[in-house]
Every structure is written in C-alpha cells, then in structure tokens.
Amino acid sequence: MKLALVLVLVLGCARSHVTACADDLEGTWRDDAGERWMLLDHDGVIEGYPIFADSIGSDVRGAPRSLQLHREGDRLAGLVVRRYDHRADSCDARAPVTATCGDDALELQLGDPAAPASFAPCKLLPPPPPHAERWHRE
C-alpha cells in the first residue's frame, strides 16, 4: 500500500513531455549555458523570469529581463522586456522573442532589449537581431 502511494505521488509530480507549444510549459527551464528560467503558464499566456543574476550596468542600470509570450498556433511569440534606470528616470526596452516547442525543448529566437539612447524623454534604440537558444525543462 505504501509503495502504491509513493508511485502515485511521484508520477503525479512528474512533468509531462513537451511535444507542442499547447502543452503545459510551466516550470524551471535551463538553457545550454546553464542559466535557469522559471516559466508560468496560464490561459495561453507564458511569463518567464530569470533565476540567475540578470541585472546589468553601473551608471545606467538594467533590471532583470522578463518574457511575455502568447500562444500563436504551434509557436510562442511575444516580447523580452528590460527596465533601464538612470537616476530618477527609467525606460522599458523591448525586443521580440519567438519559440517553437517539441522534443522536450524550447527553441527560442531571443532578442536582447537595447539600452535607451536617452531617458528624458525615453528614446529607445532598435534591439540587435535575435539569437538562438535551446531550453530544456529541469
């Protein structure tokens, strides 16, 4: 009886395999560089947050990035957002991100939001081209 209960608990806690972007993507993911991200999956909206030191800068400070994704058919699309601060002024910079899902992985084309050219008023620069990353669920 105890063995059956343990098996039910273990199997109930195991994450299902990712075969499509319609699958539940919530949980901890690791990229090929070893950096970890937490994804929250609710009602077609995926939020992503770094679980590593992701802030940058000294005089101009960049807060950790966040991902804001929506399901679009068999892929995810949305934005990478990073807030930049300079003294009392701030700007929210954005870059595109898309992802396909399958084989227990996410294949991302991830942009990196560029620091603004100026803060008062906020003048954003175009982001550099996206780069490819492959994430695996932990």
pLDDT at 9: 39
Q: Is 3 helix (H, G, I), strand (E, B) or coil?
A: helix
Per-residue pLDDT at 15: 62
For the chain, helix (H) and strand (E) counts, in that order, are: 1, 12
* C-alpha span between 114 and 127 (Å, rounded): 5
Other Cβ atoms closer than 10 A to 66: 16
DSSP state of 20: S
Q: Which parts of the chain sit beneath pLDDT 70?
A: 1-15
At 8, the amino acid letter reads V
Q: Tell me the per-residue pLDDT of 14-33, one tens digit each, with 9 for 90 and over.
A: 567 899 999 999 999 999 99
